[in-house]
Amino acid sequence: MISLLLPVIYAAFISLGLPDSLLGSAWPVIRMELGVPLSYAGIVSMIISGGTILSSLLSDRMTRKTSAGFVTAVSVFMTAAALFGFSTAPSFFVICLWAVPYGLGAGAVDAALNNYVALHFKARHMSWLHCFWGIGVSVSPYIMGFFLTRPSGWHGGYRAVSYIQLTLSAVLFAALPLWKSVSEKTVSDQEQAVISNGKKTVKHTIFSVLGIKGVPLVLVSFFGYCALESTAG
């Protein structure tokens, strides 16, 4: 089951990276067509980032109520719908509206997948996971560039990626039984380990996690890294 689920998770992270480079690739053309300043790309980016932060914070709660697989499938479907909305947007205001579900979907799938892989797979898979995200980010400008040279323009680029996301969402929904099987096996192994070690499992909240030694420093470092990455982007 694990060997079947891993390719699905890797594909999900490719899809997570696909939309991330589209705005920067297409914005010089979009802003001329919509008649808005170049700087308005920052407004769209901040709306997406705000949605991503919100859904990331709520991701654990949603995962506990449903499952990581279900959250991932629904989130990818949300990004697919938002990207299709981008492709049909007649104005900057409409793009901003579609940026909301875009950000919410991206944040939920990111947090859910990272947490799931950290809990159920070996550490090396986390590195591979983000390598596949890099594939998505690297490929999407070529997809957009291809359509920018065609009559459909940036609308076609967003639409093409939305179809890719929609296909992956269908695959994720079909693979939901695999997530459950892997989760049950991992929980059983963890319970056996707890019994053997004589330790009790502890459920953490956001505030209790902040009290763990080293966590605040990691968060500050990650904030600085993301700022550097966003500035370069």
Token reading at 159: 């639409």
Q: Are 193 and 90 in contact (CB under 8 A)?
A: no
Which pLDDT belongs to residue 154? 95
Please state the rounded mean pLDDT for residues 172-201. Answer: 62
3-state secondary structure the chain: CHHHHHHHHHHHHHHHHHHHHHHHHHHHHHHHHHCCCHHHHHHHHHHHHHHHHHHHHHHHHHHHHCCHHHHHHHHHHHHHHHHHHHHHCCCHHHHHHHHHHHHHHHHHHHHHHHHHHHHHCCHHHHHHHHHHHHHHHHHHHHHHHHHHCCCCHHHHHHHHHHHHHHHHHHHHHHCHHHHHHHHHHHHHHHHHHHHHHCCCCCCCCHHHHHCCCCHHHHHHHHHHHHHHHHHHC
CATH class of domain segment(s) 2-181: mainly alpha
Q: Where are the domains of the chain?
A: 2-181
Per-residue pLDDT tens digits for 106-151? 888 888 888 888 888 888 888 888 888 889 999 999 999 999 999 9
Q: Write down the residue that tokens 């939309």 correspond to.
A: 19
- Split at pLDDT 50, 70, 90, the class of 224 is very high
Nearest residue to 172 (alpha-carbon basis) of 86, 112, 121:
112
* Residue 230 pLDDT exceeds 90: no
pTM of this structure: 0.82
Per-residue pLDDT tens digits for 68-114? 889 889 989 999 999 999 999 999 999 999 999 999 988 888 888 88
Q: How far apart are CA 221 and CA 73, in angstroms?
A: 30
Say how far residue 136 (Cα) sits from the centre of its chain: 11
* Residue 200 pLDDT exceeds 70: no
Which pLDDT belongs to residue 193? 45
Say how far residue 61 (Cα) sits from the centre of its chain: 17
Interior CA angle at 213 toward 208 and 215, to 5°? Answer: 70
| Most confident of the following: 3-17, 64-78, 111-125, 153-167 | 153-167
141 or 193, which is more confident?
A: 141
